[in-house]
Amino acid sequence: MNGTELKIRVLGDPVLRKKAKRVQAVSERHRKILSQMARIMYESQGIGLAAPQVGIEESMIVIDIGTGLYKLINPKIVKKQGRQSLEEGCLSCPGVSIKIKRSKKVFVTAIDEDEKQHTIEADALLACVFQHEIDHLNGKLIVDYASLLKKLTLGKKIRGAADKGKNEAVPEPKTKFAKL
Ligand code: ZN
């Protein structure tokens, strides 16, 4: 990092399509990145953020849906139950919202910044956010879930966001859906 500020990357930035690497040993650098990620998430009024969204190709996420902050490393879904469908936005896909079918409940294993092992049982919105952020770690974005018809209507918006290029702030319209 070398003291450089992390910034939110938007659609069109290749880093969003890369598979994040597993963190082998947690260092001070990882802890610093996680704190910065949490700050950026809160400043952007998001409820979740994955490391690739700030240009870091490592398996780290932060989540806070209003019930407390999670800073997690190497998160992995080990069990899924049920189905739900929620309207999702994404800090990396400004102005886009898509209704996505996901599991209603997920069990996630991860380590925290002190390398302590956790298993988290997440339900409803929290389950949705975990699945969204872990998608980011696999290079997957909400636009990949859009139907062909939705892709056509989104096309202009998506191209618009991509054309603005990386690292450039895209004006964000007021949205009612969660940004993750
Ligand atoms: Zn996202």
Output the domain CATH number for residue 78. Answer: 3.90.45.10
> Across residues 16-28, what is the average pLDDT?
98
Residue 125 has pLDDT above 90, yes or no: yes
The percentage of residues in the chain with a pLDDT greater than 70, rounded to a whole number, is 86
Q: How confident is the model at residue 111 (pLDDT cuts 50, 70, 90)?
A: very high
Cα 84 to averaged position of ligand 1 atoms, centre (Å)? 18
Burial code (b: 16+ CB inside 10 Å, e: under 16) for 154-180 equals beebbeebeebebeeebeeeeeeebbb
Q: What is the pLDDT of residue 176?
A: 62
The structural domain count of the chain equals 1
Q: How confident is the model at residue 159 (pLDDT cuts 50, 70, 90)?
A: low
Asked whether residue 51 is domain-assigned, the answer is yes
Picking from 83, 76, 80, the residue whose alpha carbon sits closest to that of residue 119 is 76
Q: What is the pLDDT of residue 148?
A: 78
Asked whether residue 2 is domain-assigned, the answer is no
Asked whether residue 24 is domain-assigned, the answer is yes
Asked whether residue 57 is domain-assigned, the answer is yes
> Across residues 75-97, what is the average pLDDT?
96
Does residue 133 carry a catalytic annotation?
yes
Cα 159 to averaged position of ligand 1 atoms, centre (Å)? 17
Catalytic residue among 87, 115, 133, 172: 133
Q: What is the pLDDT of residue 173?
A: 47
Asked whether residue 80 is domain-assigned, the answer is yes
Cα 166 to averaged position of ligand 1 atoms, centre (Å)? 15
Q: What is the pLDDT of residue 155?
A: 72
